[in-house]
Structure 1
Amino acid sequence: MELQRRGERRVERFLDVAIEVFNEKGYQDARLADIVKRAGGSLSTLYRAFGDKEGLVHALMERSIRDFGKEVEDLLDSPLPPGQALEEAACHMVEEILSPARIACHRIVTAEGISQPALRDWFRAHGIQPMERLLSQYFAREARAGRLRIEDPDMAADHFYMLVFGGLIIQSVSGWVDATHLPRIQARTRSAVRLFLQGALPRS
């Protein structure tokens, strides 16, 4: 059991250091030897745990997707009215978007998506599309209950994702914002959610 726990800690340490290296150097220029040098352990241990650099990125993406997805799943269980529920969920989601791990993932799929299409497409299929499906389920449920007026839940989920998170993702991968800006970003997130729900035209 102790050996197993040490192995698990070593794997987590590799992932934590990989986040640092990918954010500093990008996917192409990051070397596994750099990660091992900082994390300790051996290159053979890293290969046994992840296979190769692409496998290491997959593990990193899976961890980020799991953390981000939990907030969307909690939204589906929320008893709060849509305005409050969406604001709270979105504020938790932007906290994950501004985490070093998520920034590393987004930098890989945006800055290096052309040269790494397999990683880019895997992240979209497993990280973005499932979140949009959960949002669509939420919008469909709230529309059926009469708490939202939405004709196309799938389109609404796409609009919500891009309005609330799209600009933030671009800013974070560009280095303009990070977790130190979280309070300001969460305030803007609440504003974006209200704009999504209320629209910009005056009510008749």
Structure 2
Amino acid sequence: MPIRNNPDSPDLDKPSLPPRPMVELQRRGELRVEKFLEAATEVFNEKGYQAARLSDIVKRAGGSMATLYRAFGDKEGLIHALMERSIHNFGQSLDELANSTLPPELALEQAAYRMVEEMLTPARIACHRVVFAEGMNQPELRDWFHAHGVQPMEELLSQYFTRETEAGRLYVEDPARAAHQFYMLVIGGVILRSVNGRMSPDDLPVAKENARSAVRLFLSGAMPRN
């Protein structure tokens, strides 16, 4: 059966990222930036985005408010930096899937493990909590995260399913829709539970086992027909 892409999938223009001041490149500056990001992750997770104060972050990280402003501009710049890093790390797991020569059942299982590992990092949990809590009040932040952090990942999955179906190793009628379904089946529950505090990085072994089961369930409907 020929592969068809989902005609209902919108081709949205990706929101542009507001410019952020250049981060100091000296080693000392790099270490300070890392400390700011670590402190911001902790404060966002503890207090939420709205209640978090830059002074709290500076106090925990050390350094000065001037250095923080020079590196990130403001609180929104900090959360953008966390989002960018998490998106990059998550994207690497799917890049490995795209280049994998393993059978789909092994390649997808490994990709699912890497996906849940990133979903349960404190930084990713902080990003999701901000997007969930502030999505209505700051739709541009929510839409940026979706356009840069969700949509490209589903596109990579769609390309993988297209390739594997054309090679006869999978049977996927609609790669775009299947990509969304796989994404949500593997990590949807992890995102929801980590956002509401019912799952933490300590639950990674359970999350990986759930991901393994999700991959098997997905493949039960996606293996080639005899």
Partners of 2:133 and 2:76 in 1: CA distance: 16
Q: How many residues align?
A: 201
CA deviations 1:82-118 (Å, max 9, x no partner) are: 0110001101110110010000000011122111211
Secondary structure, in 3 states, of the residue corresponding to 1:27?
A: coil
Partners of 2:47 and 2:221 in 1: CA distance: 41
Paired residue for 1:167, among 170, 189, 192? 189
Structure 1 residue 74 and structure 2 residue 96: aligned? yes
Paired residue for 1:45, among 67, 71, 83? 67
Correspondence for 2:133: 111
Partners of 1:199 and 1:170 in 2: CA distance: 25
Paired residue for 2:150, among 124, 128, 146? 128
Partners of 2:107 and 2:96 in 1: CA distance: 9
Structure 1 residue 151 and structure 2 residue 173: aligned? yes
Higher relative contact order (CA 8 A, sep 6+): 2
Mean CA deviation greater in 167-176 or 191-200: 191-200
Partners of 1:91 and 1:187 in 2: CA distance: 9
Scaled by the length of structure 1, what TM-score is found? 0.95
Partners of 1:15 and 1:100 in 2: CA distance: 11
CA deviations 1:130-177 (Å, max 9, x no partner) are: 100100110000011010101111111011111111111000101101
**Counterpart residue type for residue 72 of structure 1:** L
Partners of 2:131 and 2:218 in 1: CA distance: 26
**Counterpart residue type for residue 47 of structure 1:** Y
Paired residue for 1:89, among 111, 127, 131? 111
**Counterpart residue type for residue 142 of structure 1:** E
Scaled by the length of structure 2, what TM-score is found? 0.86
**Counterpart residue type for residue 81 of structure 1:** P
Structure 1 residue 195 and structure 2 residue 217: aligned? yes
Report deviation, 1:199. 3.5
Structure 1 residue 182 and structure 2 residue 204: aligned? yes
Structure 1 residue 101 and structure 2 residue 114: aligned? no
Partners of 2:85 and 2:41 in 1: CA distance: 11
Report deviation, 1:184. 1.2
Correspondence for 1:7: 29
Unaligned runs of 5+ in 1: none
* Alpha-carbon RMSD: 1.7
Same amino acid, percent of matched pairs: 69
Partners of 2:114 and 2:189 in 1: CA distance: 16
Unaligned runs of 5+ in 2: 1-24
